Amino acid sequence: MSSAGALALPSTSWRTRSALPGFGLSLGFTIFYLSTVVLIPLAALIIRPWELGLSGFVAEVTAPRVLAALKLSFGAAAVGAVLNTVFGLIVAWVLVRYRFPGKRLVDALVDLPFALPTAVAGIALSALYAPNGWLGAPLMWLGVKAAYTPLGVVIALTFIGLPFVVRTLQPVLNDLSRDHEEAAATLGASRLQTFRRVVFPALLPALITGSALAFARAVGEYGSVIFIAGNLPLRSEIAPLLIIIKLEEFDYAGAASVGVVMLGVSFLILLILNGLQALMAKRR
């Protein structure tokens, strides 16, 4: 081998270290894009409330109306995420594991909250769950008022969050081998034991991801909630609506203060859920 060929080998080896060609350019574009779309707007949101000073910021976010709105938004989003975790798993399981007439229609209906404008969804839900609506009238007969109450907020947030759980679980269920389930059944395990010890641990990381997505989507939801919530201060007023009200009153610093609290709490919750998901994945 010539000396020129020997000198060329290290250069070829060095060039094959990167799995993605053009890494420097791709990384620069990624940082630029994220900075433009995400980081700069978030930085502006975080900086704006400090016009009030620390004491003004604390007074703004601890006002009774703000605390009530934040409590309703995060509480209803959490309840909706839990409901979607349970029923989204059932829906995904049925769509993947069973064949039945109208399966494609049901599968398409899961994506309806994605395609439907949020305002249209809010109007439809308020009409259904109003005291004289198709679903609201039977509930009123049972003594339960759904529309224009915090329960209406939970219903709306559950509606818009379901597709996130179902669509996150479906690919995992499709790729999940049934060999382990059949082996567990051969060894005498019941269906419940097989699901609890074999299937559920494999689905748990995806289930946490879908629940986190549903929760994050629900916290900031506005259009589908305002029509069914009632929007009563200290009772059924959500935080996004309170931000809109403050903006209409030209209280930009106050609106940004509420937004910063929502951003911080949401980021903390999502960080915990992502850490839990990573922990579950390592134990597999």
**Angle at CA of residue 239, ends 61 and 84, nearest 5°:** 130
10 lies in some domain: no
**CB–CB of 76/152 below 8 Å?**
no
> What are the residue ranges of helices labelled H in 132-238?
136-141, 150-175, 179-186, 191-194, 200-219, 223-229
**229-234 contacts, C-beta under 8 A, 24 or more apart:** 229/148, 229/149, 229/150, 229/152, 229/153, 229/156, 230/147, 230/148, 230/149, 230/152, 232/148, 233/65, 233/68, 234/64, 234/65, 234/68
pLDDT per residue as tens digits for the range 183-208: 777 877 777 888 888 888 888 888 98
Q: What's the pLDDT score for residue 20?
A: 55
> What tokens were used for 52?
């009030």
How sure is the predictor about 71, in pLDDT bands with cuts at 50, 70 and 90?
very high
Pair (160, 231) in one structural domain = yes
pLDDT computed for residue 14 by the predictor = 46
Domain that holds residue 135: 63-283
Mean per-residue pLDDT, 122-130: 92
Rounded-to-integer distance, Cα 238 and Cα 231, Å = 7
Whether residue 117 is found in the same domain as residue 256: yes
- Report the amino acid identity of residue 209: T
Whether residue 90 lies inside any domain: the answer is yes
Instruction: Give the pLDDT band (50/70/90) at residue 284.
Output: low
Mean of per-residue pLDDT scores for the chain: 85
Mean pLDDT of 235-244: 93
Q: Are residues 123 and 239 in the same domain?
A: yes
Structure tokens at 126: 């308020």
Q: What is the pLDDT of residues 160-169, one digit of tens each?
A: 999 999 999 9
In a domain, 197, yes or no: yes
Contact 160, 220 (CB under 8 A): no
H or E stretch covering 40? helix 40-47
Write the Ramachandran bin of 115: left for phi over 0, alpha for psi from -120 to 50, otherwise beta: alpha
Please count the other Cβ atoms lying within 10 Å of the Cβ belonging to residue 201.
12
Check pLDDT > 60 for residue 61: yes
Domain boundary, last residue among 6, 31, 51: 51
Query: Is 230 contained in some domain?
Result: yes
**80 and 198 share one domain:** yes
Question: Residue 13: inside a domain, yes or no?
Answer: no
Residue 7: pLDDT over 60: no
3 in a structural domain: no
Q: How far apart are CA 84 and CA 232, in angstroms?
A: 26
How many domains does the chain fold into?
2
Q: Per-residue pLDDT tens for 43-59?
A: 888 888 888 888 899 99
Q: Which two tokens stand for residue 82?
A: 């839990």
Range scoring the smallest mean pLDDT among 71-75, 124-128, 177-181, 193-197: 177-181
- pLDDT score, position 34: 87
pLDDT band at 76 (very low <50, low <70, confident <90, very high): very high
pLDDT class for 42, splitting at 50, 70, 90? confident
What does the pLDDT look like over 101-115, one tens digit per residue? 989 999 999 998 888
- How far apart CA 212 and CA 210 sit, in angstroms, is 5
Residues 221 and 166 both lie in one domain: yes
Q: What is the rounded average pLDDT of the residues 31-49?
A: 86
Comparing 67-76, 215-224, 249-258, 265-274, which segment has the lowest mean pLDDT?
265-274
121 belongs to a structural domain: yes
- Domain of 78, CATH number, reads 1.10.3720.10
